[in-house]
Structure formats: C-alpha cells, structure tokens
Structure 1
Amino acid sequence: ASGRLGQRPEFLLSSSRRLPFMDNSVDLIVADPPWGARHANHVYVKNNLYSWAKEWSRVLKPGGVALVVTICSGHFERQVMSRLAKEGRLELEDCTQFDNKGWHQCRFYVARKPLQPRPAPVSYLNLSPFEN
C-alpha cells in the first residue's frame, strides 16, 4: 500500500516461505503465524518462525513495518527478534499484550526494517600459523 490518498492498497495472501516479491519492495506485512488443530502443537511454528521473519525482512522496504501477532512470545522475542536485530534485519519498536478471548495471552509486535543497513557482526577465528 502506498499510503497516498485516493489510492487503494493491494492485498495478497501468500506463504511466508518464499514471498513473491522483489527485495525491498513491500511497505507493510501483517502476520499471524498458524496455530490450532492443523498444527497440533507449536513446534512447527517455532521451527519456521525465524526463516519466515527473515523472508519478511528481505521484501520489506527500508523503514517498512512488520506487524506480528503470536502466542509464542518468549520464543519470538528471544530466538527470532533478538537474532534479526543483531543481524540488522528488523528492529522491535513496540509490543502490546492482550487476551485472546480467554484462550491465550497474545502479543502484538511492531518491527521495522532499518533505514540504513548495518554491517553484520564480525566473527573472529583463532587462526595460528603454528601446529599444536
């Protein structure tokens, strides 16, 4: 959606495994990862949430926003958002907890892609010219 007055936004229902968009081409992503009877437990979502969020960051424009609702808040914060922030892909801007009609406590996250890419952290190897 462009946000310009009089212009209608475009919506697409798609899989987060591989979004059909070019890099840096989307203003807003709204995601509510699947739960319930089809998945029997949260393992499926926990195993895939980082790769989905990484894909969201690929297609978001710099400054673009991802809105995410999840009941798996601890995993999302510790395993997904902290990793994406360290990689410079997405930054958590806001989080609101709410009651999902008595079923679960959910959290609604607002994450933004940085305007300027940050360099990835440097990994250092202990290389020695001498054999042990």
Structure 2
Amino acid sequence: MKAFITTVLFVALFVFTSSCGGKKEDQDFGKKAAKESVQSETVASPMETKGKEIFEGKGTCATCHKPDVKLVGPSLKEIAKIYNEKKASIATFLKGNEKPLVDPSQFEVMKANFALTKNFTDEERQALEAYVLSQGK
C-alpha cells in the first residue's frame, strides 16, 4: 500500500511539474488575435508616419507637446480638436501664415520654432499636420 501511494504521489508530482513552465506563447488563449486586431485599427498612413518622425526628431515638437498632456504647449489632442472644429490648417500656421488658434498666450514661445518650421517643405508641414490631426481620433 505504501508503494502504491508513493507511486501515485510521484506520478502526480511529475505531471504537475511537467505541465508548469511551458511556453507561454503557445498558450495565448486568443490574446494574439486581440493584439492583431488592435494593431490593425491603429495603422498610420505614410503621411502620419512621416509626420510623427518629424514631430519627434527634426521638428523638436515633442519637447513642448505631448499627445494627452499640456506641457509647455497644448496637447496634440487639444490641437487636433480645435483645428478640426475650425477647419483650419496646421500646415499654414507652421508656415507662419496663420494666427494661433489653440493657446495664443503661448504664441511667443512657439514663434521661436518658426525658424525651423518655415524651412520645412510643404510636404513636411502637411505630414506634421496629418500626424497631429490623427491624435484627435
């Protein structure tokens, strides 16, 4: 009887330890499909992608603007909301040909960046606009 109990405990211990620690990627329980569907909903256009690269790099915009939070300048969501409501052009503003719509009190700070944005190509300014407006979706 003692040998039987020992054998059962040994088998149970073997089954327990061999079932634990398996590859978790094999056991996604539908999570992989959910991740793929979320990613497919957030695919950016080539213009938005280029705009994001400019925003985070060459444009130095990320220094003062964040997607959801007002930093030095207004958040991208706030900018997108106002420009969409007023059907105005961010690209034209960045060229220096439009008055500030979002936070005129911060315009003096933004003016310093016009030295950069005025030298961007029209396509670069349009890409920045596409990226910023995409943040309001």
Which structure dedicates a bigger proportion of its chain to helix?
Answer: 2
When normalised by structure 1's length, the TM-score is 0.19
Which structure dedicates a bigger proportion of its chain to strand?
Answer: 1
